[in-house]
Every structure is written in C-alpha cells, then in structure tokens.
Chain A
C-alpha cells in the first residue's frame, strides 16, 4: 500500500543510483550516439554514393537492424562478440569482452541503422545544385560532401538526431537483460536487496520521465531556432 511508501529508502540509494547507475547510462548514451552518428553517416554515404555493391550491403544491414528487436540484438552481440574477436585477432580462445564494451558496441551498431536513415533523408534534402556547384568549383566529391552538404544536414537534422538520442537514452535501460548496472539496473538491484520495489521503480520512472520530458522540450525549442527558412 502507498501508506508504507518509504522516501528514506530512495534517499539512501541516491548516491548509488546516480554515481553508478546514471553515469553508466549517460556515458553509454553519449558514446553510442556519437559512434552511431559516425557509422550511420558512413552507411548513408555508402547507400547514396558507394556504388552498387557497397550500397546493397549498407541497405541490407540497415534493414536487418531495423527489423530485429533490440533485445535480440543485445543478446546476439553479447554472445557473439567474444567469438568474432577471437576470429579477428586470431586468438586461440574467445576473447573476454566486458559488459559495458559489449553494450556500447551493440548500441553503436544498432543505432547506426536509425541514424543512417536520418542522415540519408537529410543528404537527399540538400538541393542537388549545391553538389553540382561544389564540383564545378573544382572540389572533389568528398570535399563537397564534407564542407558543403554534411554541415547543412547536421544543422537541419539536429532536432531529429537529438530526438533519436532521447529514444536511445530510454533504450539503454534494456541492458537490464545483461544484468548491467545502468540507472534502471541500479534501481532494480536496490529494489531487490531491500524489498523496495514500489519506491525504486516509481522513482526510476520519475527520473526517466523528468529527463526525457525536459530534453524533448529543449529539442522542440531548438527546432524552432535552427530552422533554416528556405
């Protein structure tokens, strides 16, 4: 019953929840978003101007990732990465991969598919004449992409990229299935240790809500600011 709601249980857990859990969650989110953005941009470029073979591989990869549940992908990487590492590094036994590295790799590879769709839409929305103009000025295709097209794409797509990052922030809670100590993992460990499920899960929900709500409001404000009037 709500009458037995123990705020002290939450207060005592705060240092652990934030210093361990939230730091893990935020580090994972930021690194995955950056890695996913870089890999996603490469995937988008491969699809747009990578030649038929690269484009097919990139398209297949993006569609595969977008069809699979994240939980399944997390398991795939968790169990397969040691073997892939063994094969790549020619080690005699499967290499040891920590929980964080495995999760980080998973989220980079998974989010890259979603970021690549955003970047692809962005690149295609830049007027074609600009690429022609860049080439006509004697820039190479790569330079045109690097100095003319991508800066504009990043700017116009920033709100969408940030919204995707908020989704990613929520999705990192799924590392729970690997028993890692992200924010939710920390809350759940304390909840089970102290028998305080109600307090811990309510508090976790509240924190996630506050962060995601404020972040999406900020993105909305940013959206109206960066909009380029065409």
Chain B
C-alpha cells in the first residue's frame, strides 16, 4: 500500500493535488450545470412551443454526443473555428485544459440536469400552476415561489446521482491533459510500476469522495423536506 520508498511523500502529494483538481473542476462544472440546466429545464416546461423546441434541441445535442468528443470539440476544434485572434488567445491560455474541462463538463451535465428539472416540474400537480396564476402571481412569480421550490425537492435524489456523475465524469478530462485524480494515478503507475498501489489509492479516494457527496446530499434532502409533503 505504501508508495515506493523513494519520494514516498511526493506520490501522496500527487494524488492529493489530483484530488484537488478533480474537486475544483467538479464543483465549478456542477455550478454551471445547475444554472444552465435549471434555465433550460424551465424553458422545456413552458406552455409555448418555441422555448420548448429550443430546450429540446439543446438537450438532444448535448446528450447524443459522447463527453469525450465534446471535450475534443471544445479543446481542439473551437480555437480553430473562431476568428484567428480569439483562437490564438485560447491556445495561449495556460490553464486551457482546466477551463475547457469546467465548461465542457458543465455543459454536458447541464443537459441532464435540464431533463431532471423539467421532469420534476411535470411531476407536480397541475393545480399548483393554476393556483399560483389564480392568486394573481405572474408566470415568473409562480415559477419562483411555487413551482421551482417544489420541483427541486422532488428531484433532489436524482440530482444526487448526477452530482456523483459529475465527479466521475471529470476523469474523462485526462484525455485533454487535465492532471486530475485518475491521471495522477496513471502517472504514478508509469513512474513507479506500482500498478496496484496507485489505482487502489485512487479507488479509495473516489469511494470516500462519492460517499461524502452522497451523505451531504442526503442531509440536504432531509433539511429541505417539507413536513407532511412528498412521498418520503
């Protein structure tokens, strides 16, 4: 289990550094995914046809292309197809893999969040919307004060697994050179030939992180629960 005797500390440092990057990318991507996903999810739930079509197109585009291909598009293709000055600027960014991963992963996950949000809204009794409007709320007010607070409570459990998915998917970013946890384990394996130790350490860290995330989300679920409302 111990890393190789020579520079034992540095291997642990490498893994912790990788974990830090995994967590930073995941949290930032998750913020983007929640913000965009909620917006698109609301659009998809509106009675008007055009916003719905727009939201559906957005979701289908992002859901039907593998994450790896999407990251390649953002990382390799985007700088080539924008005006040259912008492309040069993008290529000269020092932390390009980091920014690309955050945005690419955020967009990818936002489509999945959007589906959850609109499903959650659809699962609410129709009367809630009608009641809000009948009370003189405008449509945005009804969403803000009645629909969304309820819908988010309904979809908290699926959002928990999407949170875990974001953390897991961040490992795909090693393909564009992001030195996150899996990439670090792979690098240690290459330096030291300690296959078993390197991957066991990474596995245990992922287990710990994802369990912590699940527990935190469960606490949030309990905290947000409205007494006497909902299935559980």
Point out residues on A near B: beta carbons under 8 Å.
1-2, 64, 67-72, 75-76, 79-80, 170-171, 173-174, 176-177, 184, 188, 191, 197-198, 201-202, 204-205, 208-209, 212-213, 216
Contacts and interface: CB of A to CB of B under 8 A. Distances in A.
Interface residues of B, number: 40
Interface string B146-167: 0000000000000000001001
A111 B9 CA distance: 36
Contact of B81 (A1, A171, A205, A216): A1
Contact of B203 (A2, A72, A213): A72
A67 B164 contact: yes
Chief secondary structure at chain B's binding surface: helix
Of the candidates A69, A79, A171, A174, the one having the most CB atoms from chain B within 10 angstroms of its own CB is A69
A198 B66 contact: no
B69 A204 contact: yes
A212 B111 CA distance: 15
Interface of B: 60-61, 63-70, 72-73, 76-77, 80-81, 83-84, 164, 167-172, 174-175, 182, 185-186, 189, 195-196, 199, 202-203, 206-207, 210-211
B64 A208 contact: yes
B174 to A, nearest CB: 7
Of the candidates B73, B169, B171, B211, the one having the most CB atoms from chain A within 10 angstroms of its own CB is B171
A45 to B, nearest CB: 24
A64 B84 CA distance: 46
Closest 8 CB pairs of A and B: A212-B64, A69-B171, A170-B66, A69-B168, A173-B66, A71-B171, A79-B195, A197-B76
Contacts of B189: 75, 79
Given A174-B172, A198-B77, A67 B196 contact: no
Contact of B174 (A1, A71, A170, A171): A71
Contacts of B65: 170, 205, 208-209, 212
Given A68-B203, A202-B73, A205-B65, 18 more contacts: A1-B84, A68-B207, A72-B182, A72-B203, A75-B182, A75-B185, A75-B189, A75-B199, A76-B199, A79-B189, A79-B199, A80-B199, A173-B68, A197-B76, A198-B80, A201-B77, A208-B69, A212-B64
Given A170-B66, A208-B65, A1 B182 contact: no
B73 A69 contact: no
Contacts of B81: 1-2, 198
A72 B164 contact: no
B80 A209 contact: no
Contacts of A76: 199, 203
Nearest to A68: B206
Nearest to B83: A1
9 contacts: A1-B80, A67-B210, A69-B171, A69-B206, A80-B195, A170-B64, A174-B66, A205-B73, A213-B64
B69 A177 contact: no
A189 B170 CA distance: 24
